[in-house]
Amino acid sequence: MLLPVVINIIISIGAYLLAINLIPNLKNMFLKAKICGIDMNKSEKIQIPEAFGVVTGCVFLIAMFLFIPIPFGSYLLDNKPDENFPHNEFVELISALLSICCMILLGFADDVLDLRWRHKLLLPTIASLPLLMVYYVNFNSTTVVLPSIVHSILGKFINIGFFYYVYMGMLAVFCTNAINILAGINGLEVGQSLVIAASIILFNLIQIMNDSVAEKHHFSLYFMIPYASTTLALWKFNK
């Protein structure tokens, strides 16, 4: 499991370098398309480009698309890949990317079309459906793995039943809007995304060292490392 993570880190470094070069080069294109605004509380009222999250979002998707074959390389090179191929894990990866594509589209549409709040509440819920449906078909497990530091108090697992799906749907709505609502302050929106990504990566590493369902935490790292690298590139300009 270590080799895919190493390759993921290498791809993430490439994604960071690509994003850090694309952002300044695309500035004039966004200004020409009138996707821009005035940087408030500054002495000079200069127009600056907006909606650059779609650029780093697309770079993130490119990195993930390039990474897709890596975790399944040993199965693809097998003489009979269909016999042992982990179809469930593959579908989870693809459905997660589908949900992310929907959220990137929503973010860009919000910047360009200035969506109303009822749309911002509805669309993230719809975007989470592919992931929840795949999870329901593959596992339908509503048991939550607890952090190792509370095992002595609450145990290793807790089953929350149907509320698991309600919680996950609400989480998609809450997280996107809780971050998006602070987008008007330079660096704050993308900055807190970077802090959250770093905390999730740290949590995964701690759980892996404790061998607590390690394969699931590797799966999380596959997404979070390239996300953190592309987010860092956007933060450097947005702040």
79-83, 154-158, 189-193: range with lowest mean pLDDT: 79-83
Mean residue pLDDT of the chain comes to: 86
Better pLDDT: 227 or 91 = 227
Three-class secondary structure of residue 127 per DSSP: helix
- Joined together, the tokens standing for residue 22 give 């694309």
- Classify the C-alpha dihedral 132-133-134-137 as positive or negative: positive
On the question of pLDDT at 79 being above 70, the answer is: no
- Burial environment of residue 66 by CB neighbours within 10 A (0 to 12, 13 to 18, 19 or more): middle
Q: Is the pLDDT of residue 198 over 70?
A: yes
Calpha distance 75→220 (Å, rounded)? 20
Q: Which residue has the higher pLDDT, 60 or 173?
A: 60
This prediction's pTM: 0.83
- Please spell the DSSP secondary structure of 195-227, one letter per residue: HHHHHHHHHHHHHHHTTSSHHHHHHHHHHHHHH
pLDDT digits (tens, 9 = 90+) for 182-194: 777 888 889 999 9
Residue 225: per-residue pLDDT: 96
Tokens of 38: 């005035």
Residue type, 185: I
Residue 83 has pLDDT above 70, yes or no: no
For the chain, where are the E strands, in sequence order?
Answer: 36-38, 47-49, 143-145, 157-159
* Phi then psi dihedrals of residue 157, to 5 deg: -135, 155
Residue 213 is predicted with a pLDDT of: 67
CB 89 within 8 A of CB 71: yes
CB 12 within 8 A of CB 229: yes
141 DSSP β-pair partners: none
Over the stretch 89-143, which tens digit does the pLDDT of each residue have?
A: 888 888 889 888 888 888 788 778 877 777 777 777 888 888 888 878 877 778 8
pLDDT score for 210: 79
CA dist 20 and 11 (Å) reads 14
Do the Cβ atoms of 223 and 64 come closer than 8 Å? yes
Count of positions (residues) in the chain: 239
